[in-house]
Amino acid sequence: MSTKQINVVDREGQQHVVEWSADQSLMEVLRDNDFPILASCGGTASCATCHVFLEKEAFPSSGDRSEDELELLVETDTYIENQSRLSCQLGFDSSGEGATVTIAPE
Ligand code: FES
């Protein structure tokens, strides 16, 4: 199965290299690596506790946000137009090798 490494910046600003397997969503990668995201809806795009920021340059190739995803994100206090995504909606193809993902504040 293919894997790649990405960089995750935690809420303290620390950067971590983690491995992403093709069968995981980004939310699952974060959860399995013990980052403190609640993901309380289990990945159904209905809680926004898995909010992350992508790099501006990488954002366009991450795919389109659904109406539900965008609605949830816009309601958060930390929404950034061209960077905010729900990590549960991001599959393996949404980010490249070496991409940097920042976990949004709670
Ligand atoms: S886990 Fe709930 S919106 Fe992503």
Asked if 73 and 29 touch (Cβ cutoff 8 Å), the reply is no
pTM for this model (two decimals): 0.96
Asked if 20 and 92 touch (Cβ cutoff 8 Å), the reply is yes
Two tokens at 86?
């729900």
Nearest to 59 by CA among 21, 4, 99, 6: 99
Question: Residue 76 pLDDT more than 90?
Answer: yes
Which domain range does residue 93 map to? 3-103
- Summarised one tens digit per residue, pLDDT across range 8-62 is 999 999 999 999 999 999 999 999 999 999 999 999 999 999 999 999 999 999 9
- Summarised one tens digit per residue, pLDDT across range 86-106 is 999 999 999 999 999 999 999
Number of helices (H) and strands (E), helices first, in the chain?
2, 5
Ligand 1, pocket-test mutation among 26, 50, 74, 76, most atoms within 8 A of CB: 50
Q: Which ligand 1 atom sits closest to the C-alpha of 42?
A: 1
Rounded Cα gap, residues 39 and 26, in angstroms: 11
Question: Residue 1 pLDDT more than 90?
Answer: no
CA 66 – ligand 1 centroid, Å: 13
Q: Name the domain count of the chain.
A: 1
Q: Where residue 48 sits, what CATH number does that domain have?
A: 3.10.20.30
